[in-house]
Amino acid sequence: MPVTKYCRNGRIDSYLQDTQMSITIIEERPDSADALELLSELDAALWLYPYPPESRHAFSVDKLLREGVAFFVARLQGAPVACGGVKIFGAEYGEVKRMYVRPAYRGRGLGKAILNHLAEYAEAQNVSLLRLETGIYQTDAIALYERWGFARRPPFGEYREDPLSVYFEKRLSSSNSGTFVIREATPADSDAINRLCVEAFEEFRPIVGESNWEHLRETLEHASELMSEGELIVAEDSTGLLGVVLYVRDGRTNDSNLAANCALLRTLAVSPRSRGRSIGRRLTQECIDRARKDGADAIALTCGSMMTVALPMYERMGFIKESDLGERLGVKHARHVLRLRS
């Protein structure tokens, strides 16, 4: 029986077990067709319970959009089966919103997978605490939250005491990892960027071989020159640079084989001493956010088979293998694309 694994900070957090099935969890607008279908089912289910209007706190689709809730849809073999969102309240906490798993797919780990994904997203925003409100009649949801590690707490935010509501919170495991900022690189960062890229890719030296490594290292020692090709973005904390990535608005300026209106992500590198802090995911998400803001239809990247940490992360974020690109430096590479518009 195949097992799809979800990892956060290098640890296996949950398993989704189902014959011949795999899951993807992708950020989408809550007014997309699949999201609307799931949210409509959730609303219909909730109306079956005797909550008065003052005890109904679910966000409408319009409010999800207006409040900037990050919303995700889970699919099994392409079919939408679950959803969930998180609203970030600065650095204080994230609130889980609109969790739902279709009844036919319950008991397969989908709820836990959504929670893991929301936690990973919150950590990437430097948030170390999740909170939520749910109704007392949602016994299956309450059991899931408690199994996942949520503890009951008093009302928070704008919520007030309500005998029909239950309030939860959970401190995330990487809360001691420290905060970092995402910003544009400047020429003053050049030396640090070049060193970081060499350090980050040196783990592949035994895989590509000495001859190929010398060629790759020479390229990486000039990685800062990528500023002339697009937007070079860095992650930084009080100790210095932690990671770097290149975002290119028009990917065809780098790769003529890309479709029109496709952005490009290149040269994602995270310092070995800073791994396990969701830095790679946060830099990738920054590129996705910029592509959406720029109105791109998709964003593409190239990934080598030796990138056994980065590739699962890309897949969890919704990137799908589009084509094989043959060998580079003696390693198979492929193009992966995340569609931003249907």
Task: Give tens-digit pLDDT for 123-155.
Answer: 878 888 999 999 999 999 999 999 999 999 999
C-alpha span between 342 and 337 (Å, rounded):
13
Shared domain check, 157 and 213: no
Among 171, 191, 223, the domain-final residue is 171
Shared domain check, 294 and 235: yes
CATH number of 275's domain = 3.40.630.30
Shared domain check, 154 and 11: yes
Chain centroid, CA 269 distance in Å: 17
Amino acid type, 252: R
Shared domain check, 202 and 90: no
Flag whether 257 is in a domain. yes
Shared domain check, 203 and 105: no
Q: What was the pLDDT predicted at 256?
A: 79
Among 141, 171, 201, the domain-final residue is 171
C-alpha span between 249 and 95 (Å, rounded):
32
Shared domain check, 185 and 278: yes
Q: What is the pLDDT of residues 184-215, one digit of tens each?
A: 999 999 999 999 999 999 988 888 899 999 99
Flag whether 17 is in a domain. yes
* Total length of the chain: 342
In which domain, by residue range, is 284 found? Answer: 181-339
Shared domain check, 236 and 185: yes
Q: What is the largest CA-CA distance in the chain?
A: 71
Shared domain check, 162 and 281: no
Total structural domains within the chain? 2
Shared domain check, 37 and 111: yes
Shared domain check, 223 and 103: no
CB neighbours of 90 closer than 8 A, spacing ≥ 6? Answer: none
Q: What was the pLDDT predicted at 24?
A: 84
C-alpha span between 73 and 18 (Å, rounded):
18
Shared domain check, 304 and 241: yes
C-alpha span between 33 and 20 (Å, rounded):
26
Q: What was the pLDDT predicted at 254?
A: 77
Flag whether 176 is in a domain. no
Shared domain check, 220 and 105: no
Q: What was the pLDDT predicted at 78?
A: 84
Flag whether 303 is in a domain. yes
**The three-state (H, E, C) secondary structure of 22-49, written as one string:** CEEEEECCCCCHHHHHHHHHHHHHHCCC
Cβ count near 283 (within 10 Å): 25
C-alpha span between 25 and 317 (Å, rounded):
6
Which residue stretches of the chain have pLDDT < 70?
1-22, 173-178, 342
Among 171, 202, 228, the domain-final residue is 171
Indicate the SS3 state at residue 277.
coil
